[in-house]
Amino acid sequence: MHLLAKNLNLPTAFVEFRHAATHEGLPSIEVLRVFANRGLKWLADNYWAGVGEVGETPVKGLEQAKSAVLAWRRARRENPLRRITAGDSSVEGKVVAGVVKECVGICKDEEGIEALIEALLAEKALVPGGRGKEKMMKGAKMLWTPLLGELEKLVPGFVRQLVDAIVEILKASEELSSTLLRVAGVAQDVEQQTPDEEFVQAISTWARYLTDKKQTAAGAVGAGIDIEMLVRGILLQPNKTTMLLLTHLLTEYPQLKPKYQALAELAALNVGSQSTVLKPKEKRSLEDLEAEIDSFEERFRRVQHQRLKPKAVEVVNTVAEARNAGKWKRWEGNWIPKPLGII
């Protein structure tokens, strides 16, 4: 199956996903939807794009978007901090204005917006090329934030759709990474990351950056992002990668904690997240958790039994017991059958 997939240029993740769905447990409906969308996209790019005029428009839009993104990178990489001002007559200013205008033209419909988002999420755009992507993310943010800001002003909601697309990739990242590692026979080690893992880490950094409180303030680049909807989407399909983003969101927007903290803790427990905000102590097996729950329930039953058990009346049997108990002390005088003055 892997050889056949390779000959068809089909991602090996599809083969592993099909094997898991057929011979193991059926994935959740959310994961099925993600892979269904990826499958439809693969068919569009690898089959329909070469059949008549049906597939030509999306490919043309994507190529135009890639060209615009490349033009922006070339124009801005020498001086990424230069402000974009209306009416800039310099060569760079004219090129930048032309790229922004072209990007807005591409985004005239949903298909065009998807094409531009795909071009931006490709390597050597928002995601730096080569290895060690995380070290280059600071420069990437400086280079691309002005373009995202211009697009958000001229195409309201663009950044929200970009973040939504990133989150969809993050939701499928765990299945994809584990599949690639399993196929390649690579042990999963933090110090030995695959290019795909570096890519996921880079776009995750973008998601956290664009959802910072200062980036979602009025007039900022991410002002159109619906943070609460983002939190809900992550809780519907959590994994280790999306839980890092959820931790970030609950830290940046603590007003959401009372509403979603309990669900977030359950999700963190389910995926074994190491989040400091959600406070899971360590990744533990399901058997260990079940044993701890059983032990807790047994202790609880014993406490309840003790509380409901009727208390016996204490009877003092000896003088020594009474004296030690502090209830009365022994009379040291002469014995009088009936004390004087008592009627």
The pTM is what? 0.60
Q: State both tokens at 137.
A: 């993310």
pLDDT at 19 over 80: no
What span, in angstroms and rounded, lies between the C-alpha atoms of 171 and 156? Answer: 25
Band (50; pLDDT cuts 50, 70, 90): low
Helices 110-121 and 56-76: crossing angle, nearest 10°?
A: 50
**Block residue for tokens 């195409």:** 155
**Block residue for tokens 């044993």:** 291
pLDDT tens sequence across 272-312: 744 444 444 445 566 666 676 667 667 666 766 666 665 55
Q: How far is CA 86 from CA 78, 97, 150, 221, 222, in A?
A: 20, 8, 11, 18, 21
Of 122-126, 266-270, 316-320, the one with minimum mean pLDDT is: 316-320
Average pLDDT, the chain: 76
- What are the residues facing 192 on neighbouring strands? 189
In contact, 256 and 249? CB cutoff 8 Å:
yes
What span, in angstroms and rounded, lies between the C-alpha atoms of 276 and 307? Answer: 37
CA angle 16, 20, 26 (to 5 degrees): 140
In contact, 102 and 64? CB cutoff 8 Å:
yes
pLDDT at 58 (0 to 100): 47
